């Protein structure tokens, strides 16, 4: 599975420009799907028919990653940019970014700021692609770039940019690969635009009308120095979400995940996230409501280019989803 | 001139009647069906020739920002709150039209002569301002402008040569472009021209209209920020007057569908129509709710650059206006099923 | 039905946003005698139908009052103390010293506590306590707590509802159980009355966390008209006059973009005809109530808001006038009784048909 993760995290795919990552995921899932389609906003929806008698279940992971978009090219060929999704100024300084065609940029900060000790604002950052004027600048207003950082494994830790949420895409793909039999009608949504607007999950779910929805996404941990208290730790198992800032997990879905984990002796943790939300928040409100929950992969350094997960949590996440799908 | 009529009409979010009347009068003869829905949106259908079996929604919002009366002072002044995003700095010194009778009102500040030190640097919050309609008692004020009465700016429309000025070009400019499109030849597809309500308070009208229509794709027409006045740094003006219609790639409410953006830019380049990209990340439009409807609606926003939007006086270039109409007409003519595949 | 005992019963029940089970059961039993059908939807909204007598297909009116309340949740265990966070907009300024109930393996009484002022630095003593310095103490040894409590367990505010002078009533969860009470009174009054429209009374869930129950229940019911009921700010020193309404002078009717002017006008006329005192409330944008979500469901729903003035919102001492709850109930019943089968045809915008 490490190779799959490497391929996924290193592919370009910021919110709104998901073509490349969709093609990579499509190649992985097409041979395993009964039906496959791309819906109006670009989400990839895979249908795996069950043996019958079960429910219609939608699983979801988002394909898009955070990044930056060029907002202006000045006279000297430097580009100003805005963030795509939850990017912070601190992770930008000195970072390298790559555009769809491979063009690279370096992010610099205005040295002549009022207070050099304060965190700079996005207006005080700029991108250098090696141009000398507006005319010879290879990037234009509206072009999007992602952070560049190679995938690395060390012990059981996996480190890369875009673990959020390519690790969950890997979980879904692996689950689909190992799924032998299920009574349920299973849909796997690889959604677009989660980092900006949760658009993909919401609209895809409208088309599917599931009885139950489980989003798979990363969540934070409370196990690094002087961090905000949080009961989730790397390596202690996938987390069952109770609530986050955008959603209260449906108790039935939350309990289902806990029961299956207990019955199969899969380690798990309970998660309350104080900031941020996932596709599940949007899926829950579609039409007349969908019981929705979230299975989270604990992750340190979320929304930095070095997101870190533990492969045991990932493996246990796959096992737990299989338990949910294979039982009635 | 339809832009003049539309700009001078009154229609604050939630009370769009004045603008709605002008819109209905302008489009009625040119469409096959027109109706007003539960929220007050005008939904007009101009059937296509049948060549392109598509439903295309093109929307512009009728509502403008304004004020609402929230209380009455002992001395006959009105207390107000903002409807939509009003910049409080622009209110002092302005003329208003209050209520359906369009009673004139003014907002003033404590005279500069009476200010204490540094007080002139402060900006009054809307809660601290009052509107003076000339009433001399609380009861009189209550009778003239009961709780919930709307107030709008009064600025008349003026032609300045290559540019025009007036109030509410956001989004009466977009409405005017849409009226021109509706008045022209039929397209290959069914054109659902929607003049929406309540964009300024949360993109509300567009949401329910899109649900009713179920379009295959949508275009939103706007009057957008042109910040091309002198600055200290070499940074984006968002859009510039004279550089043509502004196409959105991404703003705070949605990401434009790249296939539709390509249709617009390919058309502009083929016909030599000037265009610009609006600075990404600024503002939001009806596309924000339209694109989330049902199973998703690929959407794009095209805007006429306007200086000083959300102030009592806005300004646009007639060339930009005409080029926006032209770009939309030509792009829509080239829109086919294949564009969206 | 006596309103004060009803208020007491409804507000003392448990039902934190997302976990409305106990209050839902109570509302179900309370509404049973006055409705023809009831069902629970996927998010837990309770949807009750009183059929009208007009010719089919009958138009649908939806009444919405939210049954969820704000509360707390366990986020971690530390040496036998519980770290907490809010569910909905719980006001942390009033948490210190509050008695709560922790719903773990069993219900346990607890206290919201923090370090005493004597040992705190000056600056911290003057500031209200941030969430990560608050904890709940259940008075048990750490091993017991580990056994009985898990991350994600709910914590409710423990508070009895009391009657003050002048039939004012104070307790927790008046927001919005007072309106559930108003809807109950309306349903009771309609029991002997013919009305043309089908009435869907909905006790919604998760209003406090984002109007979620209203959004999904309105989609499911697909009403032609809707009236939401919630609380608004009651007059109180320190609250500007433009933002608050007096207790005991009747409910308020919202006016502004969130509400259809024709529907609001009708409610106003009914109030005047039945001598039910009420005030207009100017709402220039978001109403912060279920009405905001319902109005933009499907193809749009003409919506109105009836609100009961309430002091100390989101604090466990929410205070209102019982008379205002009774008036809201009477207003709803009178409005429904007088709603003509063809009312929608008359509900126009500037003289053009709404349908």
The answer to whether C295 contacts B39, with C-beta atoms less than 8 Å apart, is yes
Contacts of C219 in chain A (CB under 8 A): 287-289
A190-233 per-position pLDDT tens digit: 999 999 999 999 999 999 999 999 999 999 999 999 998 899 99
Measured between beta carbons, the chain A residues lying within 8 angstroms of B296 are 39-41, 43, 199-200, 203-204, 206
Question: What span, in angstroms and rounded, lies between the C-alpha atoms of A9 and A164?
Answer: 9
Nearest to B205 by CA among B322, B84, B338, B53: B84
Residue spans of the domains in chain C: they are 3-69+172-346, 71-157
Beta-carbon contacts of B4 under 8 Å, excluding residues fewer than 6 positions away, are B157, B164, B166
**pLDDT tier at C92, thresholds 50, 70, 90:** confident
d(CA C35, CA B240) in angstroms, rounded, equals 62
CA atoms within 13 A on the CB side of A145: 31
Determine the Cα–Cα distance for residues A191 and A169; give it in Å rounded to an integer: 10
Q: How many helices (H) and strands (E) does chain A have?
A: 8, 17
Strand, helix or coil for residue C324 = helix
Interface of C with B (CB under 8 A): 240-242, 255-258, 260-261, 280-282, 284-286, 295-302, 348-350, 352-355
pLDDT above 70 (res C351)? no
d(CA A1, CA C182): 58
Report all structural domains of chain A as residue ranges with CATH numbers, in order of start: 2-65+161-326 (3.40.630.10), 67-147 (2.40.30.40)
Residue recorded with tokens 């005192």 = C277
Tell me the per-residue pLDDT of A245-278, one tens digit each, with 9 for 90 and over: 999 999 999 999 999 999 999 999 999 998 899 9
Which H or E element spans position A219? Answer: strand A212-219
Question: Concatenated DSSP letters for B154-211?
Answer: -PPPEE-SSEEEES-HHHHHHHHHHHHHHHS---SSEEEEEEES-STTTSHHHHHHHH
CATH tag, C3-69+172-346: 3.40.630.10
Taking only the tens place, the pLDDT of each residue in A147-165 is 999 999 999 999 999 999 9
Neighbours of chain B (3+ CB pairs under 8 A): A, C
Of A199, A204, A206, the CB nearest to B291: A199
Contact C284 B70 (CB under 8 A): yes
Confidence band, pLDDT 50/70/90 cuts, at residue C28: very high
Is the pLDDT confidence value at C354 over 60? no
Write the Ramachandran bin of C235: left for phi over 0, alpha for psi from -120 to 50, otherwise beta: beta
Is there a cis peptide before residue A165, judged by omega within 30 degrees of 0?
A: yes
CA–CA separation, A79 vs A140, rounded Å?
A: 8
Cβ within 8 Å of C, A 271-290: 271-272, 274, 284-285, 287-290
**Nearest partner of C236 among C320, C298, C296, judged by Cα:** C320
Return the SS3 of C320. strand
Query: Dihedral (C-alpha) A194, A195, A197, A198: value to the nearest 10 degrees?
Result: 20
Residue in the block written with tokens 């709605």: B20
Instruction: Map residue B338 onto helix, strand or coil.
Output: helix
* Residue position matching structure tokens 């006038």: C321
| Phi–psi pair at B16, nearest 5 degrees | -80, 5
Residue count of chain B: 341
Q: What is the pLDDT of residue C352?
A: 54
What is the residue-averaged pLDDT of chain A?
96
What integer pLDDT is reported at residue B114 of this predicted model?
Answer: 80
Residue C193 burial by Cβ neighbours in a 10 Å radius (0-12, 13-18, 19+): exposed
Query: How far apart are alpha carbons C96 and A78 in whole angstroms?
Result: 53
Interface test with B, best of A141, A144, A205 (most B CBs within 10 A): A141
Q: How many CB pairs under 8 A join A and C?
A: 74
pLDDT of res. B32 = 97
| Interface touch A272/C75, C-beta < 8 Å | yes
On the CB side of B25, CA atoms within 13 Å amount to 10
Alpha-carbon radius of gyration of chain B: 21
Distance from CA of A286 to the nearest CA of C (A): 7
Residues B158, B172: Cα–Cα separation, whole Å: 15
Do the Cβ atoms of B206 and B286 come closer than 8 Å? yes
Which of C151, C202, C209, C215 is the best residue to mutate to test the A interface, defined by the most A CB atoms within 10 Å of its own CB? C151
Pair B58, B178: CB distance under 8 Å:
yes
Lookup: tokens for C300: 């749009």
pTM of the complete model: 0.93
C162-163, strands of its sheet edge to edge: C162-163, C168-171, C318-321
Over the stretch A62-109, which tens digit does the pLDDT of each residue have?
Answer: 999 999 999 999 999 999 999 999 999 999 999 999 999 999 999 999
Tokens 């016909």 identify what position?
B271
- pLDDT band at C355, cuts 50/70/90? very low
- What amino acid positions of A are annotated as catalytic residues? 194
Per-residue pLDDT of C245-270, as tens digits, reads 999 999 999 999 999 999 999 999 99
Cβ under 8 Å to B: A residues 144-163: none
CATH number given to C71-157? 2.40.30.40
What share of chain C in percent tops pLDDT 70? Answer: 99
Q: Say whether pLDDT at C288 is over 80.
A: yes
Nearest by CB: A229 against C18, C83, C215: C83
Q: Is the peptide bond before C57 cis (omega within 30 degrees of 0)?
A: yes
Provide block-wise average pLDDT over 10 residues at a time, chain B (341 residues): 96 97 97 96 97 96 97 93 90 92 90 80 86 94 96 95 96 98 97 98 97 98 94 90 97 97 98 97 96 97 94 94 98 96 86
* Interface-testing mutation among B16, B39, B42, B43, with chain C (most C C-beta atoms within 10 A): B39
pLDDT, one tens digit per residue, over C64-75 is 999 999 999 999
Cβ <8 Å between C242 and B81: yes
Average pLDDT for residues C168-179, to the nearest whole number? 96
Where is C236: in which H helix or E strand?
none
Tokens of B245: 């219609």
Say if residue C353's pLDDT is above 60: no
Instruction: Give chain C positions within 8 Å (CB) of A229.
Output: 75-76, 78, 83, 132
CB contact under 8 A, C349 and B71: no
Whether chain C has a CB inside 8 Å of the CB on A6: the answer is no
Q: Identify the residue whose tokens are 């705070």.
A: B252
Measured between CA atoms, the residue of chain C closest to residue A272 is: C75
- Buried-state track C60-79, b at ≥16 Cβ within 10 A, e below 16: bbbbbbbbbbbbbbbbbbee
Residue to mutate among A13, A20, A41, with most B CBs inside 10 A, is A41
Note whether C257 contacts B38, CB cutoff 8 Å.
no
Say which of C20, C69, C207, C208 is annotated catalytic.
C207
B49 phi/psi in degrees, rounded to 5: -75, -15
Q: Which residue has the higher pLDDT, C354 or C278?
A: C278
ipTM: 0.92
Q: Is C207 a catalytic residue?
A: yes
For the cut 90, the answer to whether the pLDDT of residue C122 exceeds it is no
Domains of chain B: 2-64+167-340 (3.40.630.10), 66-153 (2.40.30.40)
pLDDT of residue B122: 80
- Exposed, middle or buried: residue A55 (CB in 10 Å: 0-12, 13-18, 19+)? middle
Token pair listed for C98: 């509050």
Of C255, C295, C352, the CB nearest to B36: C352
Question: Do residues B337 and B54 lie in contact, with contact meaning Cβ atoms separated by under 8 Å?
Answer: yes
CA C185/CA C179 separation, integer angstroms: 10
Q: Which residues of C touch B204 (CB under 8 A)?
A: 257, 295-296
Compute the distance between CA of residue C126 and CA of residue C91 in angstroms, rounded to an integer: 17
């Amino acid at each position: 599975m490490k190779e799959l993760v490497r391929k996924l995290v290193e592919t370009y795919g910021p919110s709104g420009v998901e073509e490349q990552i969709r093609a990579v995921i499509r190649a992985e899932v097409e041979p395993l799907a009964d039906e496959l389609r791309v819906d109006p906003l670009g989400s990839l929806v895979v249908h795996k028919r069950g043996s019958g008698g079960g429910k219609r279940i939608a699983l979801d992971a988002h394909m898009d990653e955070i990044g930056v978009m060029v907002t202006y090219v000045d006279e000297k060929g430097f580009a100003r940019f805005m963030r795509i999704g939850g990017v912070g100024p601190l992770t930008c300084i000195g970072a390298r970014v790559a555009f769809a065609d491979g063009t690279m940029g370096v992010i610099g900060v205005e040295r002549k700021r009022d207070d050099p000790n304060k965190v700079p604002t996005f207006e005080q950052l700029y991108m250098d692609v090696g141009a000398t004027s507006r005319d010879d600048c290879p990037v234009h207003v509206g072009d999007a770039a992602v952070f560049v950082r190679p995938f690395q494994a060390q012990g059981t830790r996996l480190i890369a940019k875009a673990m959020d949420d390519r690790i969950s895409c890997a979980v879904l793909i692996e689950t689909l690969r190992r799924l032998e039999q299920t009574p349920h009608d299973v849909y796997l949504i690889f959604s677009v635009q989660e980092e900006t607007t949760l658009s993909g999950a919401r609209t895809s779910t409208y088309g599917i009308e599931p009885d139950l929805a489980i989003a798979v996404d990363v969540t934070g941990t409370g196990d690094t120095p002087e961090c905000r208290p949080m009961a989730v730790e790397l390596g202690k198992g996938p987390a069952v979400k109770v609530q986050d800032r955008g959603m209260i997990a449906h108790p039935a879905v939350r309990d289902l995940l806990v029961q299956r984990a207990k019955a199969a002796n899969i380690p798990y943790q309970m998660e309350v996230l104080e900031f941020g939300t996932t596709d599940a928040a949007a899926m829950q409100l579609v039409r007349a409501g969908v019981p929705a929950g979230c299975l989270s992969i604990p992750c340190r350094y979320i929304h930095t280019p070095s997101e870190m997960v533990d492969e045991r949590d990932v493996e246990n996440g796959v096992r737990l989803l299989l338990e949910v799908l294979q039982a009635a | 001139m339809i832009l003049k009529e539309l700009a001078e009409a009154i229609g604050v979010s939630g009370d769009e009647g004045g603008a709605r009347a002008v819109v209905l009068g302008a489009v009625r003869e040119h469409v096959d069906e027109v109706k007003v829905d539960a929220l007050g949106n005008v939904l007009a259908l101009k059937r296509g020739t049948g060549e392109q079996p598509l439903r295309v929604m093109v929307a512009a919002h009728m509502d403008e920002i304004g004020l609402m009366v929230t209380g009455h002072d002992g001395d006959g002044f009105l207390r107000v709150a903002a409807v939509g995003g009003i910049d409080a700095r622009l209110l002092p010194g302005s003329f208003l039209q209050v209520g359906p009778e369009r009673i004139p009102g003014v907002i003033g500040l404590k005279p500069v002569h009476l200010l204490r030190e540094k007080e002139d640097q402060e900006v009054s919050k809307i809660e601290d301002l009052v509107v003076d309609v000339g009433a001399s008692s609380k009861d009189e004020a209550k009778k003239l402008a009961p709780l919930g009465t709307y107030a709008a700016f009064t600025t008349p429309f003026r032609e300045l040569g290559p540019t025009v000025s007036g109030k509410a070009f956001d989004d009466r400019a977009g409405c005017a472009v849409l009226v021109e499109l509706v008045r022209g030849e039929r397209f290959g597809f069914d054109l659902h021209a929607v003049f929406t309500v309540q964009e300024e308070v949360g993109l509300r009208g567009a949401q329910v209209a899109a649900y009713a229509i179920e379009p295959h794709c949508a275009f939103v027409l706007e009057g957008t920020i042109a910040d091309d006045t002198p600055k200290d740094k070499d940074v984006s003006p968002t859009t510039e007057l004279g550089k043509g219609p502004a196409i959105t790639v991404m703003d705070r409410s949605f990401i434009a569908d790249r296939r539709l953006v390509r249709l617009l830019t390919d058309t502009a380049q083929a016909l030599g129509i000037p265009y610009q990209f609006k600075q990404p990340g600024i503002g939001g439009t009806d596309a924000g709710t339209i694109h989330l409807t049902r199973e998703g609606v690929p959407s794009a926003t095209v805007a006429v650059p306007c200086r000083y939007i959300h102030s009592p006086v806005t300004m646009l270039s007639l060339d930009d206006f005409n080029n926006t109409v032209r770009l939309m007409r030509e792009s829509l003519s080239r829109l086919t099923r294949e564009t969206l595949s | 039905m006596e309103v004060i005992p009803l208020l007491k019963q409804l507000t003392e029940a448990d039902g934190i946003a997302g976990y409305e089970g106990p209050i839902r059961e109570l509302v179900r039993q309370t509404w049973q005698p006055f409705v023809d059908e009831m069902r629970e939807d996927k998010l837990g909204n309770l949807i009750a139908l009183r059929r009208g007598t007009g010719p089919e297909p009958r138009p649908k009116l939806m009444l919405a009052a939210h049954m969820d309340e704000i509360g707390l949740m366990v986020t971690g265990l530390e040496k036998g103390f519980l770290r907490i966070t809010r569910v909905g907009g719980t006001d942390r300024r009033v948490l210190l010293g509050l008695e709560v109930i922790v719903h773990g393996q069993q219900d346990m009484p607890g206290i919201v506590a923090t370090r005493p002022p004597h040992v705190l630095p000056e600056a911290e003593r003057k500031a209200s306590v941030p969430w990560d310095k608050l904890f709940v103490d259940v008075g048990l040894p750490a091993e017991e707590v580990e056994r009985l409590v898990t991350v994600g367990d709910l914590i409710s505010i423990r508070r009895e509802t009391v009657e003050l002078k002048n039939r004012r009533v104070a307790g927790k969860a008046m927001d919005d159980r007072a309106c559930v009470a108003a809807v109950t009174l309306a349903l009771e009054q309609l029991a002997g009355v013919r009305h043309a429209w089908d009435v869907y009374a909905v006790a919604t869930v998760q209003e406090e966390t984002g109007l979620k129950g209203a959004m999904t229940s309105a989609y499911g019911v697909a009403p032609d008209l809707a009236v939401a009921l919630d609380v608004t700010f009651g007059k109180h020193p320190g609250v500007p006059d433009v933002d608050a309404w007096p207790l005991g002078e009747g409910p308020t009717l919202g006016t502004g973009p969130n509400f259809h002017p024709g529907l609001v006008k009708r409610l106003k006329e009914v109030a005047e005809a039945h001598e039910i005192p009420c005030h207009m409330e100017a709402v220039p944008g978001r109403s912060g109530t279920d009405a905001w979500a319902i109005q933009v469901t499907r193809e749009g729903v003409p919506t109105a808001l009836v609100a009961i003035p309430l002091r100390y919102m989101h604090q466990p001492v929410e205070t209102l006038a019982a008379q205002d709850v009774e008036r809201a109930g009477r207003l709803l019943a009178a409005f429904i009784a007088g709603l003509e089968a063809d009312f929608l045809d008359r509900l126009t915008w500037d003289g053009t048909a709404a349908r």
